[in-house]
Amino acid sequence: MKVRTKQHQFLMDRIARYDGKASKVKILLKMSGWEWTVGFAKFLKHSLDFIGSLILIILLSPIFLITMIAIYLNDPGPLFYIAPRVGKDGKNFGFIKFRSMVMNADKMKDNLLEANESKDGVIFKMKKDPRVTTVGRFIRRFSIDELPQLFNVLKGDMSLVGPRPPLPREVAEYTLDDRKRLHVTPGITCLWQVGGRSEIPFSQQVELDKQYIQSKGIWQDIKILIKTIPAVISGKGAY
């Protein structure tokens, strides 16, 4: 309640300065209108996330089954890869993907750090990563490995649209400006995902994420979701 009271006071002060002699009733009406608009926008986004992810899980269930069989036949072992990621406000959660790499891939990564092709160095990317399996390359190209994250959306840890959730050790290298990405719920797709994915440098990814945060809205989310379809089909920047 203290946070809410401070927000109310801040808004009242701002409106009062803008309106000059505006009455208290007018200020409260404007404040209530603003709160209703923000609340309704959040409701729409949560509804889109829950209903959309549920429908997609049902429609894509055959692809889930085929992918699981292919992964196991290609490299027997766990079908899913679950790792900690940093979500909204720095809260960690279990991020789930279809396993696209060989077993013990995380331990092998330490020996490949010098081969990192990410220009900024914060994230790790290799076009010909030796840890990726044959099936893994295919499901990565068409983002099939990301489909289990629909369950993260159902749980509320992620959204359909939002900045991609980073690894804890990536966040440790963030600047204060980079940390603005953690102000919103992370998503499965975002502006840089539909604009080139891994081909876009980390610094530019951050700028696009901040651009999304500043202008986010239900219609922008829908536009990004629509643009995700051709981006996935083309496989541009996926590795």
Each residue's pLDDT tens digit, 39-91 = 667 888 899 999 999 999 999 999 999 999 999 999 999 999 999 999 999 99
Under 8 Å CB-to-CB from 90, ≥6 apart: which residues?
171, 182
Any domain includes 42: no
User: How far apart are alpha carbons 171 and 84 in whole angstroms?
Assistant: 12
Question: What angle do helix axes 134-141 and 61-74 make, rounded to 10 degrees?
Answer: 150
> Would 32 be classed as within a structural domain?
no
The answer to whether residue 201 is domain-embedded is yes
Question: Residue 127 sits in which domain range?
Answer: 48-234
**What would the pLDDT profile of 165-178 be if each residue is shown by its tens digit?**
998 988 888 888 88
pLDDT top residue among 159 and 12: 159
The pLDDT, as a whole number, for residue 66 is 97
Tell me the three state secondary structure of residue 217: coil
Whether 24 is in a domain gets the answer: no
Give the separation between CA 205 and CA 166, rounded to whole angstroms: 12
* pLDDT grade for 236, boundaries at 50, 70 and 90: low
201-233: pLDDT as tens digits: 787 888 888 888 888 788 888 899 998 888 888
Backbone angles phi, psi at 194, to 5 degrees: -90, 0
Residue 56: inside a domain: yes
Is residue 10 included in any domain, yes or no? no
CB 31, CB 11: distance < 8 Å: yes
The torsion angles phi and psi of 57, rounded to 5 degrees, stand at -60, -40
| Cβ atoms of residues 8 and 181 within 8 Å | no
SS3 109: helix
* Least confident interval from 14-23, 85-94, 191-200: 14-23
The pLDDT of residue 1 is 42
pLDDT at 196 over 90: no
Q: Domain count for the chain, please give it.
A: 1
How far CA 120 is from CA of 65, 123, 186, in Å, comes to 37, 7, 21
Q: Is residue 65 part of a domain?
A: yes
Mean pLDDT within 96-115: 77
Mean pLDDT of the chain: 82
Q: What is the pLDDT of residue 207?
A: 86
Q: Judge whether 75 lies within some domain.
A: yes
The CA-based angle 71-62-58, given to 5 degrees, is 125
Q: What string of DSSP letters covers 121-165?
A: SSS---TT-TTB-HHHHHHHHTTGGGTTHHHHHHHTS-EEESPPP
Residue 162 structure tokens? 């939002």
Rounded CA-CA distance 224/159 in Å is: 12
What is the C-alpha separation between 42 and 217, in angstroms, rounded? Answer: 9
Query: What would the two tokens of residue 198 be?
Result: 């891994």
Q: Is the pLDDT of residue 115 over 80?
A: no
> What is the bridge-based pairing of β-strands 187-189 and 159-161?
parallel
% pLDDT > 90, the chain = 39
